[in-house]
Amino acid sequence: MNSSPGAPSVELVSPHSGAGERALADGLRDDAREMIRDPNLKICAVAVAMMVFLVFGCGDGEKPYTPEEFVQEANANGAGIALGGPLDSATELEIYDVQVDLGVAPPDESASSGGSQRLPGAAHTHGGGSLAVAPGIEEAESEHERCEVAPSLVCYRAANVVLRLEEPPPADQARIDAAIATMSTRE
């Protein structure tokens, strides 16, 4: 038996003894009641609960994008995409038309204007796709997984947005890969 003052009393008993199990359960119940009565322990319990909520209850730290913020940041990183109008959607996702400006060079880091610049002689042809804006990160992750199953789509996710493109040329895909990779670390 433990003789320290204030420490829970624990009695070693045989696991086959019903009386010992009841005594142990009664001792634990008494200790729990004592903890509930102690105001310092209540404060600690509330503080621990708040910390758990802050750590686990706030997602993984990714900030959501609006469609305009996503396109603006992607273009600042050299993506060369244009946001079109909203498309009909039977899901919780907001879907927008997206055009990819083919033949756009990555941003020139020495240029003060930032963003992408058109390559000399590049045509103004556009590739297509869509931008799906989910209400949260989990929904975007699910949409990204669903998108990646489609054989003719190239799919990207940054926070709550999924960019779905219809087979862009390799050079444009590499440019967009680099732009979205930079964005996926947004916090």
Does residue 145 have a pLDDT over 60? yes
Mean pLDDT of the 98-102 span: 85
Least confident window among 11-20, 32-41, 150-159, 171-180: 11-20
List the domain boundaries for the chain.
Answer: 1-58, 67-183
* Distance, CA of 166 to CA of 100 (rounded, Å): 10
Q: Which residues contact 99 (CB under 8 A, 6 or more apart)?
A: 81, 82, 84, 126, 127, 128, 129
Percent above pLDDT 90 for the chain? 43
Of 146, 105, 154, 108, the C-alpha closest to 129 is 154
pLDDT digits (tens, 9 = 90+) for 122-137: 444 457 899 999 999 9
Chain mean position to CA 115: 25
Question: Which phi and psi angles does 54 have, rounded to 5°?
Answer: -65, -40
Q: Confirm if 82 and 98 have CB atoms less than 8 A apart.
A: yes
Whether the CA torsion 3, 6, 7, 9 is positive or negative: it is positive
Does residue 16 have a pLDDT over 60? no
Domain at 67-183, CATH from 2.60.40, 3.30.200, 1.20.1640, 3.30.310:
3.30.200
Q: Between the CA of residue 175 and those of 64, 76, 123, 132, what are the distances in Å? A: 23, 12, 17, 20
* Distance, CA of 25 to CA of 109 (rounded, Å): 69
Mean pLDDT of the 83-96 span: 94
Q: How high is the pLDDT of residue 62? A: 76
Q: Confirm if 107 and 78 have CB atoms less than 8 A apart.
A: yes
